[in-house]
């Protein structure tokens, strides 16, 4: 999945939650940041197919969440709840959507207990031998668009996220004016 669709799916997920001590500010900014965070391993990888490091495994982020929760139990920092939940949900959503839209590399759901790669549609690692910066160029981009169902789902997620953001923004302005 591409960065704009990761951000849009993170925004849509964040909007599903009612206000609580876990979802107050900075829950949404952290959730958006975390929805793209695993892809920083792309900076350190030579190929698209090889860019999934430990950052693309669920257990790593569950351990981070556990560490932050323990820290919160000791220091009772009011912001640690929304930060830890935003980080957990954003990264797990990233992995779920990467699994769903996998084209050249899947997700190792059971790492480190198994190195098996999981994906929904058959993957073609041979198309992912270029750099991650080549993802928005051909031939990778046209290969990615070959699965039209997934491509339009990504476009749909971006449109829904964008529409909801604009709707929320307009209504906030109205609210502020009254
Ligand atoms: Zn990813």
* Structural contact between residues 26 and 55, judged by C-beta atoms closer than 8 angstroms: no
Q: What is the pLDDT of residue 71?
A: 95
Q: What is the pLDDT of residue 51?
A: 75
| Inter-helix orientation angle 80-100/27-36, to 10° | 30
**Residue 39 Cα, ligand 1 centroid: separation in angstroms?**
5
Is the backbone of residue 122 left (phi > 0), alpha (psi -120 to 50) or beta?
beta
**Residue 23 Cα, ligand 1 centroid: separation in angstroms?**
24
Q: What is the mean pLDDT of each run of 10 residues along the chain (178 residues)?
A: 95 96 96 96 83 93 97 93 97 97 94 96 89 82 90 96 96 70
Is the backbone of residue 76 left (phi > 0), alpha (psi -120 to 50) or beta?
left
**Residue 178 Cα, ligand 1 centroid: separation in angstroms?**
42
**Residue 72 Cα, ligand 1 centroid: separation in angstroms?**
28
**Residue 98 Cα, ligand 1 centroid: separation in angstroms?**
6
**Residue 89 Cα, ligand 1 centroid: separation in angstroms?**
14
Q: Give pTM, 2 decimals.
A: 0.92
Secondary structure (3-state) at 107: strand
Residue 34's closest CA among 121, 111, 95?
A: 95
Q: What is the pLDDT of residue 121?
A: 93
């Amino acid at each position: 999945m591409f960065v704009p669709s990761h951000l849009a799916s993170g925004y849509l997920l964040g909007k599903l939650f009612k206000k609580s001590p876990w979802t107050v500010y900075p829950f949404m900014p952290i959730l958006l940041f975390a929805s793209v965070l695993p892809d920083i391993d792309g900076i350190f990888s030579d190929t698209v197919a090889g860019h999934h490091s430990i950052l693309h495994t669920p257990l790593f982020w569950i351990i981070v969440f556990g560490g932050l929760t323990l820290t919160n139990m000791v220091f009772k920092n009011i912001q640690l709840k929304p930060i830890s939940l935003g980080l957990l949900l954003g990264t797990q959503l990233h992995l779920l959507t990467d699994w769903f839209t996998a084209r050249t590399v899947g997700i190792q759901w059971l790492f480190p207990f198994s190195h098996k790669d999981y994906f929904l549609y058959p993957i073609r690692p041979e198309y992912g031998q270029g750099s991650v910066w080549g993802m928005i160029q051909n031939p990778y981009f046209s290969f990615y668009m070959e699965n039209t169902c997934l491509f339009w789902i990504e476009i749909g997620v971006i449109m829904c996220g964008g529409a909801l953001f604009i709707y929320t923004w307009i209504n906030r302005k109205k609210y502020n004016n009254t």
